[in-house]
């Protein structure tokens, strides 16, 4: 189903209720870039907000940096806003919308791998700011659904590897759940029970690939597929596989699903029945996992595909 026309937009994502697709666009040469939205039932796109930043889980607040090096949080519904002490750095919201987290560079080094980062948290209005922990070559991957833990990535200079750690914000106890050279793009599942990540160019073909691990460090496995991935639902990972034929011959992409508990792979779309090509890896799963939106490589518009 085609949602937009006119080669409109990039970076689509879903409204919290899943009824609209939001995206970045500048609809006219004299207009400013903004977040626009289009209803799944059709109609013309409408302005969501001209504040470009990070939205809270309920999309009622947006955090954005100003030209004077200050990070603000502002309500989309009115002009109320406040300053947060992140030194102009981006912040991320906790799932319950009560707290924020950010990272600051604590030691300057030409290598990101060796650079120190302070990880901070505060209440939603910036009060009660606290330096939780300092890590090397990493930062906050995301909040767990209970809003009491972080998934943290960091580097270990001693053995030139990256680690994934679950950090309890109350007790500050940490649990390492994964370690690998060239570990990238960790993604926490919606329920917080699983983490997906990739290992690339590690020098060991057996290590390179797409991996999953439980958030308690158990059941780590390398998946049989590799490509772009997003969580469809708890325990189910959607993957657009990297396939040489699709890249070289302009053939259709396809979407697979992996049951991460068993490793079983199933096909969600069949190229012989449904042809589509995603531009620049620009796609997003719906909150309920029943459909996904993508920027078409053919016409640069937004399309939605319903999934079984």
Strand partners, 140: 152
pLDDT at 239: 98
End-to-end Cα spacing for the chain? 15
pLDDT at 98: 96
Break the chain into its structural domains and give their ranges: 52-180
**Per-residue confidence in pLDDT tens, the chain, 308 aa:** 999 998 889 999 999 999 999 999 988 888 789 999 999 988 889 999 999 999 999 999 999 988 888 999 999 988 889 999 998 999 999 999 999 999 998 877 667 677 889 999 999 999 999 999 999 989 999 999 999 999 999 998 766 789 999 999 999 999 999 999 889 999 999 999 999 999 998 888 888 999 999 999 999 999 999 999 999 999 999 999 998 655 556 789 999 999 999 999 999 999 999 999 999 999 999 999 999 999 999 999 999 999 99
Are residues 302 and 8 in contact, defined by beta-carbon separation less than 8 angstroms? Answer: yes
The yes or no reply on domain 52-180 and CATH 2.120.10.30 is: yes
Q: What are the strands, taking DSSP E only, across 144-277?
A: 149-156, 161-168, 174-180, 183-188, 194-199, 209-214, 221-222, 227-233, 236-241, 256-259, 264-267
- Pairwise CA distance, residues 237 & 244, whole Å: 21
pLDDT at 78: 82
- Pairwise CA distance, residues 289 & 66, whole Å: 35
């Amino acid at each position: 189903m085609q949602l937009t026309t006119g080669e409109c937009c990039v970076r689509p994502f879903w409204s919290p209720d899943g009824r609209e697709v939001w995206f970045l666009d500048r609809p006219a040469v004299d207009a400013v870039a903004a977040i626009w939205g289009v209803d799944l039932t059709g109609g013309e796109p409408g302005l969501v907000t001209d504040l470009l930043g990070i939205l809270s889980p309920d999309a009622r607040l947006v955090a954005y940096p100003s030209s004077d090096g200050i990070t603000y949080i502002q309500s989309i519904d009115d002009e109320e806003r406040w300053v947060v002490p992140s030194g102009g750095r981006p912040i991320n919201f906790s799932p319950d919308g009560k707290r924020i987290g950010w990272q600051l560079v604590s030691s300057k080094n030409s290598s990101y791998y060796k650079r120190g980062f302070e990880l901070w948290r505060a209440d939603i209005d910036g009060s009660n700011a606290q330096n939780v922990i300092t890590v090397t070559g990493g930062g906050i991957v995301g909040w767990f659904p209970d809003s009491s833990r972080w998934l943290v990535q960091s580097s270990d200079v001693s053995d030139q590897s990256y680690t994934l750690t679950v950090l309890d914000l109350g007790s500050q106890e940490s649990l390492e759940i994964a370690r690998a050279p060239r570990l990238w793009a960790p993604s926490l599942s919606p329920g917080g029970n699983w983490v997906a990540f990739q290992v690339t160019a590690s020098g060991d073909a057996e290590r390179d690939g797409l991996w999953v691990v439980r958030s308690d460090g158990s059941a780590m496995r390398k998946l049989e597929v590799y490509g772009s991935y997003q969580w469809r639902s708890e325990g189910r990972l959607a993957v657009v596989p990297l396939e040489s034929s699709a890249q070289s011959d302009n053939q259709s992409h396809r979407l697979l699903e992996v049951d991460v508990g068993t490793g079983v792979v199933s096909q969600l779309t069949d190229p012989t029945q449904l042809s589509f090509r995603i531009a620049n890896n620009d796609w997003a799963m719906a909150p309920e996992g029943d459909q996904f939106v993508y920027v078409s490589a053919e016409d640069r518009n937004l399309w939605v595909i319903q999934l079984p």
